[in-house]
Structure 1
Amino acid sequence: MNASTFFKTENAERYLGTLCKHFGHKVPVTHDTGSGRIELPFGHCALTADETGLSLTATASDLPQLDKTIEVISSHLDRFAFRENPQLDWQVTPT
């Protein structure tokens, strides 16, 4: 299952880097300019940054694991981007 959201911000690259660096101490992460992937034990999240904002796509094998992946990524982005108060509207699509 997949879920996607978009966070409109001028600081997308910075948040992408901060998320990848933070999770890189705990789980496998890949990070290049403009993109990253965080591999959590219960799912993963692909991130893409451009001048308009940060795109996030979470993937997991079932809805409970997808919900957990979304919660972990969202809570960390909320913490790192607290000045912008991200309002993420995740759209779930079955795979």
Structure 2
Amino acid sequence: MTQHIAQVPTTNGSRYLQQLCKHWSHKMPVEFDAQAGKISFPNGTVATLANAAETLDVTLDVPEGVDAAHMQKVVADHLDRFAFREAPLSFDWN
């Protein structure tokens, strides 16, 4: 399992993480509140989101054999849709 972390600059992290979690809750297991969320993808990837004052902190735990770059793009593209007023958001994955 590899871990990929991005601190996305935005003051709307709570709104975006809730929208993303609600969006995916129809397709996969999701847990969330106003400050944090967790999305469990069918391929074993787990996305954890946390609202901070100036950032939305996104962590992807990606199993071996799963394309991490693809999962980063999936999460970033979906968040950009919800953040259309300030998109594209800046994702600097570590």
Residue of structure 2 in register with 1:66 after alignment: 68
Residue of structure 1 in register with 2:51 after alignment: 49
Q: CA RMSD in A?
A: 1.3
CA deviation after TM superposition for structure 1 residue 44, in Å = 1.2
1:56-93 per-residue CA deviation (whole Å, 9 max, x = no partner) reads 000111264322321211110111112112021111xx
Residue of structure 2 in register with 1:22 after alignment: 23
Residue of structure 1 in register with 2:93 after alignment: 90
Q: TM-score, with normalisation over the residues of structure 2?
A: 0.88
- Unaligned 5+ runs, structure 2: none
Detail structure 1 runs of 4+ shifted over 3 Å in the superposition: none
CA deviation after TM superposition for structure 1 residue 36, in Å = 0.4
- How many Å separate the matches in 2 of 1:18 and 1:38? 12
Q: In the comparison of the two structures, how many residue pairs are matched? A: 91
SS of equivalent to 1:37: strand
